[in-house]
Amino acid sequence: MNTFTLRALFSPIVALLCLLPLSGCSEDQPAEILNGAEQSQRYLPLLDQQKVGLVVNQTSRVKQQHLVDFLGDAGVDIVRIFALEHGIRGDVENGGKVADGVDAPTGLPIVSLYGGQYAPSQESVADLDWLLFDIQDVGVRFYTYISSLHYLMQACADYDVPLMVLDRPNPNGDYIDGPVLEPEFRSFVGMHPIPLVHGMTVGELAQMINGEGWLEEGAQCELTVVPVANYRKSDPYSLPVKPSPNLPNDLSIRLYPSLALFEGTTVSIGRGTAFPFQVVGHPADEKGSFQFTPQPIPGASENPKHRGTLVKGDDLRALEAQPRFSLQYLLDWSERTGEPTEEFFSRAAFFDKLAGTDRLREAIMAGQGEEEIRRGWQAEHQAFLEQRQPYLLYPEG
């Protein structure tokens, strides 16, 4: 019952059936969380004697085996692999070129869907019976895999190819927070009118994209989701494989929603070190006791901010493992650099795209505090919580 298909409007009745557990569990010993890829009995029959295209990366695993190898061993006819940001093996830095080519371990052709060509062409999907998506997300609007998902859904709707999503837990799925994207700030780092931290899995978001008519002209793709078994949104989830080169551990993933906004400022968040998204610093800081010097790291950060310069600031690696989104880092460092706020926001347009609005930047420049800023998005949060309810697959508490 955990596999279902959306051919028209989403049905809450079907979603309810999808929540039936695979097996029972006691209060003392909860059942093991099983991601979609680990429930092969639910999707392999659908792929039998079908030509399949895969959208995968280094996180696409069935236990210790890459999904490409697992499906190959199961006799699935894999035609080609589509590569997103960071590439098939996760060794391409943020924004780095992902090229067409051949996957060396398997000999399968690779079609790049990053770097300007975000949607597959009709030619690249015309011979497919299924397009299968299995990518670990981190639950933040500007993490671009969900933008890639949108373009894949659009192509599947346009060219009449069914899409299967093997769902995975969201490591930031226990809450929502941050500004909701405004339409004029829509970009590849934010395509949907959802909070910065949206609290949904990829499978749930795919349903919402379909159900809310967010594809062009309200189109819908034929969508099958294999949900995670035995999962609650409140469950802490430690990723077995780092989702991208600069998110190496659980703490970096939990700090990512707060610290990634610094990408539009003069402040470093540790790119070019062994601890990205776990430190904050600036050459002019006089308050922090921690020091680091960003250096190029092949495949992770080849031209980091403040390259070769001593940076002073704060080491956040001693924080609790489950921090939530906070504006305090931005508010604090907008003063600590000693720069006028216009200079602090060195990439103001990009900051606004990440935030999904220019109101956050303008509020910081106006000297507003976190509580005052947060009041501005509370009504939008409540509306979003109600809007997303029909598409949720997992209990929240």
1 pLDDT more than 60: no
Residue 379 or 2, more confident: 379
30 burial level (CB within 10 Å; 0-12, 13-18, 19+): exposed
Question: What is the spatial distance between Cα 269 and Cα 294, in angstroms, rounded to a whole number?
Answer: 10
pLDDT at 48: 97
Let me know: does 280 contact 359? Beta carbons within 8 Å.
no
Rounded Cα gap, residues 84 and 286, in angstroms: 40
125 & 273 share domain: no
Range of the domain at 281: 250-321+328-368
Looking at residue 102, its pLDDT comes to 87
389 part of a folded domain: no
Domain contains 106? yes
Whether the pLDDT of residue 27 is over 80: the answer is no
The model's pTM is 0.91
Give yes or no: residues 97 and 224 share one domain: yes
| Burial of residue 16, with CB atoms counted within 10 A of its CB: 0-12 exposed, 13-18 middle, 19 or more buried | exposed
* Whether residues 256 and 188 fall in one domain: no
Share of the chain above pLDDT 90, in %: 82
Question: For residue 103, is it within any domain?
Answer: yes
Picking from 209, 236, 263, the residue at the C-terminal end of a domain is 236
- In percent, how much of the chain has pLDDT > 70? 90
Q: How many domains does the chain have?
A: 2
Asked whether residue 26 carries a pLDDT value surpassing 90, the answer given is: no
Q: State whether 147 and 264 are in the same domain.
A: no
Separation between Cα atoms, residue 59 and residue 89, nearest integer Å: 8
Whether 378 is in a domain gets the answer: no
Q: Give pLDDT, residue 97.
A: 59
pLDDT at 94: 53
245, part of any domain: no
Q: What is the tens place of the pLDDT at every residue in 209-267? A: 999 999 999 999 999 999 999 999 999 999 999 999 999 999 999 999 999 999 999 99
Tell whether 36 and 183 lie within a shared domain: yes
Is residue 208 located within the same domain as residue 312? no
Same domain, 274 and 189: no
CA distance 160 to 149: 16
- Residue 82 domain-assigned (yes or no): yes
Does residue 394 form part of some domain? no
Average pLDDT, integer, range 18-43: 71
Rounded Cα gap, residues 368 and 370, in angstroms: 7
Instruction: Report residue 95's pLDDT band, with 50, 70 and 90 as the boundaries.
Output: low
Helix (H) or strand (E) holding 80: strand 77-83
Same domain for 339 and 191?
no
Residue 103: which CATH number? 3.40.50.12170
Region of poorest pLDDT, from 65-79, 102-116, 268-282 = 102-116
Tens of pLDDT, residue by residue over 151-190, are 999 999 999 999 999 999 999 999 999 999 999 999 999 9
